[in-house]
Protein backbone atom coordinates (compact mmCIF):
# COMPACT_ATOMS: atom_id res chain seq x y z
CA UNK A 1 0.00 0.00 0.00
CA UNK A 2 1.29 3.46 -0.85
CA UNK A 3 1.09 6.54 1.32
CA UNK A 4 -2.33 8.17 1.15
CA UNK A 5 -3.11 11.85 0.52
CA UNK A 6 -5.15 13.32 3.37
CA UNK A 7 -7.48 16.32 3.45
CA UNK A 8 -8.93 18.10 6.45
CA UNK A 9 -12.31 16.46 5.80
CA UNK A 10 -10.66 13.00 5.58
CA UNK A 11 -8.78 13.71 8.80
CA UNK A 12 -11.96 14.56 10.69
CA UNK A 13 -13.65 11.42 9.34
CA UNK A 14 -10.82 8.86 9.61
CA UNK A 15 -8.54 10.13 12.40
CA UNK A 16 -10.46 12.44 14.73
CA UNK A 17 -12.36 15.70 14.79
CA UNK A 18 -9.75 18.01 16.33
CA UNK A 19 -12.47 20.51 17.25
CA UNK A 20 -13.61 18.09 19.98
CA UNK A 21 -11.91 15.93 22.61
CA UNK A 22 -9.19 13.49 21.43
CA UNK A 23 -10.81 10.24 20.27
CA UNK A 24 -8.93 8.22 17.64
CA UNK A 25 -11.27 6.75 15.02
CA UNK A 26 -8.76 4.59 13.13
CA UNK A 27 -8.47 0.81 13.12
CA UNK A 28 -4.66 0.83 12.65
CA UNK A 29 -1.89 3.09 14.02
CA UNK A 30 -1.19 6.12 11.82
CA UNK A 31 1.70 8.32 10.75
CA UNK A 32 0.80 11.66 9.18
CA UNK A 33 3.47 13.46 7.16
CA UNK A 34 2.85 17.23 7.13
CA UNK A 35 4.73 18.31 3.99
CA UNK A 36 4.84 20.75 1.06
CA UNK A 37 5.87 20.15 -2.56
CA UNK A 38 8.56 22.86 -2.39
CA UNK A 39 10.21 21.40 0.76
CA UNK A 40 13.57 19.70 0.08
CA UNK A 41 13.71 17.60 3.28
CA UNK A 42 10.10 16.51 2.62
CA UNK A 43 11.14 15.18 -0.79
CA UNK A 44 14.02 13.30 0.85
CA UNK A 45 11.71 11.57 3.33
CA UNK A 46 8.93 10.74 0.83
CA UNK A 47 10.57 7.57 -0.62
CA UNK A 48 11.33 6.32 2.91
CA UNK A 49 7.66 6.69 3.85
CA UNK A 50 6.65 4.81 0.68
CA UNK A 51 9.01 1.95 1.65
CA UNK A 52 7.65 1.88 5.20
CA UNK A 53 4.08 1.96 3.92
CA UNK A 54 4.80 -1.20 1.92
CA UNK A 55 6.78 -2.90 4.71
CA UNK A 56 4.07 -2.29 7.31
CA UNK A 57 1.09 -2.80 5.00
CA UNK A 58 -1.86 -4.02 7.07
CA UNK A 59 -0.18 -2.96 10.33
CA UNK A 60 -0.31 0.84 10.04
CA UNK A 61 -1.39 3.60 7.66
CA UNK A 62 0.83 6.45 6.45
CA UNK A 63 -0.88 9.63 5.27
CA UNK A 64 0.58 12.71 3.56
CA UNK A 65 -0.94 16.10 4.24
CA UNK A 66 0.01 19.05 2.03
CA UNK A 67 0.33 22.00 4.43
CA UNK A 68 -0.17 24.53 1.62
CA UNK A 69 -3.48 22.94 0.57
CA UNK A 70 -4.71 22.10 4.10
CA UNK A 71 -3.69 25.14 6.14
CA UNK A 72 -6.64 24.81 8.55
CA UNK A 73 -5.44 21.42 9.77
CA UNK A 74 -1.80 22.53 9.82
CA UNK A 75 -2.76 25.53 11.96
CA UNK A 76 -4.84 23.34 14.28
CA UNK A 77 -1.68 21.34 15.09
CA UNK A 78 0.60 24.38 15.19
CA UNK A 79 2.75 23.13 12.31
CA UNK A 80 5.45 25.76 11.84
CA UNK A 81 8.21 23.73 10.20
CA UNK A 82 8.07 20.86 7.76
CA UNK A 83 8.36 18.04 7.54
CA UNK A 84 6.53 17.34 10.78
CA UNK A 85 5.21 13.90 11.63
CA UNK A 86 2.25 12.98 13.78
CA UNK A 87 2.51 9.44 15.18
CA UNK A 88 -0.85 8.11 16.39
CA UNK A 89 -0.89 4.83 18.36
CA UNK A 90 -4.09 2.85 18.84
CA UNK A 91 -4.08 3.79 22.53
CA UNK A 92 -2.57 6.79 24.23
CA UNK A 93 -1.76 10.26 23.02
CA UNK A 94 -0.35 11.15 19.59
CA UNK A 95 3.28 12.26 19.32
CA UNK A 96 4.50 15.14 17.16
CA UNK A 97 8.05 15.10 15.74
CA UNK A 98 9.59 17.87 13.64
CA UNK A 99 12.29 17.41 11.03
CA UNK A 100 13.31 14.79 8.51
CA UNK A 101 14.02 11.43 10.15
CA UNK A 102 16.11 8.53 8.83
CA UNK A 103 14.38 5.24 8.10
CA UNK A 104 15.82 3.49 11.18
CA UNK A 105 14.29 6.14 13.47
CA UNK A 106 10.87 5.71 11.84
CA UNK A 107 11.22 1.93 12.27
CA UNK A 108 12.13 2.33 15.94
CA UNK A 109 9.12 4.57 16.63
CA UNK A 110 6.83 2.22 14.69
CA UNK A 111 8.04 -0.87 16.55
CA UNK A 112 8.35 0.66 20.03
CA UNK A 113 5.45 3.13 20.06
CA UNK A 114 2.90 2.26 17.38
CA UNK A 115 2.93 -1.54 17.15
CA UNK A 116 3.94 -2.44 20.69
CA UNK A 117 1.20 -4.32 22.48
CA UNK A 118 0.59 -3.04 25.98
CA UNK A 119 1.59 -5.31 28.85
CA UNK A 120 -1.30 -7.02 30.68
CA UNK A 121 -2.70 -5.21 33.69
CA UNK A 122 -1.38 -7.72 36.23
CA UNK A 123 2.21 -7.22 35.06
CA UNK A 124 2.76 -10.74 33.69
CA UNK A 125 3.17 -11.26 29.99
CA UNK A 126 1.89 -14.28 28.14
CA UNK A 127 4.34 -16.07 25.89
pLDDT tens for 67-115 read 999 998 898 888 999 999 999 999 888 999 999 999 999 999 999 999 9
Annotated active-site residue in 15, 30, 31, 42: 42
Known catalytic membership, residue 18: no
What CATH superfamily is the domain 4-114? Glutaredoxin (3.40.30.10)
Separation of alpha carbons 78 and 91, rounded Å = 22
pTM equals: 0.84
Annotated active-site residue in 39, 65, 109, 114: 39
Known catalytic membership, residue 99: no
The end-to-end CA distance of the chain, in Å, is 31
Are 93 and 22 spatial neighbours (Cβ–Cβ below 8 Å)?
yes
pLDDT tens for 40-58 read 999 999 999 999 999 999 9
Amino acid sequence: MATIDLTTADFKEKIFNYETEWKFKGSLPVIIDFYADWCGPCKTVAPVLEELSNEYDGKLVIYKLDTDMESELSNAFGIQSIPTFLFIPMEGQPMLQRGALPKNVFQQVIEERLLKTPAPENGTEKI
